[in-house]
Each structure stands twice: as structure tokens, then as C-alpha cells.
Amino acid sequence: MLTYYKDRYNDYTIRTAAISSEATHLALTIQDMTTLENHGALLNPGQWSYSEYESFVSFSVNLDIMTNDMPVGNEFRATLTPWVTGSGYFEPVWDGSFQFFTSQSIDKPAYVNQIPVEDNGEYPYKSHTSQNQYIILT
């Protein structure tokens, strides 16, 4: 399962089945595993690249645009299918899944040490009701 962080473009490099050199586009289709709604996007030639030697596809995508801002925690089945202008679709080259997350860099907590430091030579250890703050033991 691939991780997708909401509200931004995410870069992926995944190993796929061989893609014909005739392929000009990649179709990314995702299906919500809860509601079974299908969403899709066509990746243009400049939005993806393919390494024939290792069979890696690299692309960048913002799934929020495709899914109308789905909530955090949703999971999606995904399929990548090569597409040729005028000829249509080939067989899918990758099947996988995505799970939506919110960015962790924004929500970093400010840790509060509940073990008091020395004050004027005394250690003011006191028992009291906790406020369920983070405890860091060193």
C-alpha cells in the first residue's frame, strides 16, 4: 500500500510490468474501497517517465483533485494502464492501493517534560494528577 499525503502532489516510483514504447499516456484509476466510487486521471507524457531497463514508472499526482477531498484514512485500489493516442488502452501494468494521510510535519506536538528539573538545589518531585501530556524519559 502506497502512502498518500493530502493537499499536495506526491511523487512515486513503482515497478510495473513492461510498458510498450508506443504508450504516450498513463491512465491512473482509483476506487474508494468503502463507497466503490471510481475516479481517474490521464497522466500526460511530461507527467510521468519510464525506465525500460528496470521497469520503473515515476510520476507525481495530487489525488485530492481526483477524489473531491476525501477524508484522512480512506483507502483506494489503484491501477496504472498505458494509453496510446488514437489506439486506446493496453492491459494494466500495475495494481496496488493508496491510503490517505495528513502531513505529519504540520502537527508536531510541543513536548512537555513532566519530570521537573532541579530548582535551587532541590528536586521538586510531587505526585499530582496528570494532564495526559507527553512524557519523555531520558
Q: What is the pLDDT along the chain (138 residues), one digit of tens a residue?
A: 777 767 778 888 999 998 888 888 888 898 888 888 888 888 888 889 998 888 999 988 887 766 666 777 788 899 999 888 777 777 889 999 888 877 665 545 555 556 666 667 666 555 555 666 666 666
Q: CA-CA distance, 27 to 92, in Å (whole number)?
A: 9
Q: Which residue has the cell 489506439?
A: 87
**Right CATH number for 2-101 from 3.40.50.150, 3.40.50.740, 2.60.40.10, 3.90.1200.10?**
2.60.40.10
Domain boundaries, the chain: 2-101
Set of cell numbers at residue 82: 498505458
Name the pTM for this structure. 0.66
